[in-house]
Amino acid sequence: MGKGDVEAPPTSAYRSVMEEYGYEVGKVIGNGSYGTVYEAYYTKQKVMVAVKIISKKKASEDYLNKFLPREIQVMKVLRHKYLINFYQAIETTSRVYIILELAQGGDVLEWIQRYGACSEPLAGKWFSQLTLGIAYLHSKGIVHRDLKLENLLLDKRENVKISDFGFAKMVPSNQSVRNSPSYRQVNCFSHLSQTYCGSFAYACPEILLGLPYNPFLSDTWSMGVILYTLVVARLPFDDTNLKKLLKETQKEVTFPPNYAISQECKNLILQTLRQATKRATILDIIKDPWVLKFQPEQPTHEIRLLEAMCQPPSTTNRHQSLEIST
């Protein structure tokens, strides 16, 4: 992510489109493969926002025709205090403008790089907020598929805001699958996907092996990588070599001896960084005693929604064909 002090005034073409809709574009706050994120002032509501400007010339056909429409479709239905909110999408012949909530505190990766490992109370605060945000997504049948520290933004009060829904996907609620390395012996969260998304360092072993995988459980694996990194200030697995990475992800993760990490916190990390058949779902995580310790109130509503997803289906047919679509 680009630093907030980089000044790069957008061209007059950007400005005229933005001004027409009531946005005064300011400094660059981030750069991606296909575009740039600017800070902007929305004159009609008198609030600061983030504007993601995507160049159609730079973007791939696959991104413009598949991932971008899916990202907008997903974000339109999301409203949660720990998710970056979507406000508006504007399309012209040469660009797509996505107007989003502005998180002014940078991202969690930058925080770790600057200050090192979090204290356990801070890690607990951020992880419990991440848990509530992902519980909300999963309860709606939406998977993120690109959870990593740089996609956890911070607002001015240092609360987590989950961002970047470029790989997010709505999963059909009636999906049932046959046995596979990532099939849970439960009815909830049992959809399999075959599109690899995200960063190798945060990817579960079944993805690294190129197997069909359960995207709900790939999200919870990534959450385990995030929690480990919050309390240790380094990734649990070395992703510089794919063969080594695969070997490491299939063994139990170890903790450096010089860090004071509670056994409860370690247990939760071990529950998430394990083979898919035994891995914690978001329902397991939200009920975990270490997570509950940091919740300002009991997440009874979220638990109820997630438990409703886990009700046995009315039909006993578990042998529908595996979903191949991406």
DSSP secondary structure string for all residues of 251-272: S-----TTS---HHHHHHHHHH
pLDDT band at 146 (very low <50, low <70, confident <90, very high): very high
If one compares 51 and 172, the residue with the highest pLDDT of the two is 51
**At residue 128, does pLDDT exceed 60?**
yes
Question: For residues 97 and 42, is the Cβ–Cβ distance under 8 A?
Answer: no
- As a whole number of angstroms, the distance between CA 213 and CA 220 comes to 12
Q: pLDDT tier at 192 (50, 70, 90 boundaries)? A: low
Instruction: Provide the mean pLDDT of the chain.
Output: 85
What is the average per-residue pLDDT within 56-73?
91
> What is residue 276's predicted lDDT score, i.e. its pLDDT?
95
In CATH terms, the fold of domain 108-309 is Transferase(Phosphotransferase); domain 1 (1.10.510)
Kindly report which listed range (196-205, 239-248, 305-314) carries the lowest average pLDDT score.
305-314
Contacts of 61-69 with CB under 8 Å at 24 or more apart are: 63/34, 64/96, 66/326, 67/166, 67/167, 68/96, 68/166
Please tell me whether 287 is known to bind a ligand: no
> The tokens 């009700």 sit on which residue?
311
Cα-based distances in Å from 233 to 53, 169, 238, 308 = 32, 30, 13, 36
CA 11 to chain centre: 31
CATH of domain 12-101: 3.30.200.20
Whether 217 contacts 279, CB under 8 Å: yes
The predicted structure's pLDDT at residue 258: 86
Answer with the residue of higher pLDDT: 273 or 191.
Answer: 273
Q: Where residue 323 falls among pLDDT bands split at 50, 70, 90? A: very low
**Cβ neighbours of residue 100 under 8 Å, at least 6 residues apart?**
49, 50, 51, 52, 84, 85, 86, 87, 163
DSSP of 166-208, one letter per residue? TT-EEPPTT------TT--SSSTT---B----S-GGG--HHHH
Catalytic positions:
146
How far apart are the C-alpha atoms of 34 and 14, rounded to whole Å?
Answer: 15
**Per-residue model confidence as pLDDT tens digits over 151-186:** 999 999 999 999 999 889 888 764 433 333 333 333
User: Domain residue spans in the chain?
Assistant: 12-101, 108-309
**Which segment of 77-91, 231-245, 305-319 scores lowest on mean pLDDT?**
305-319
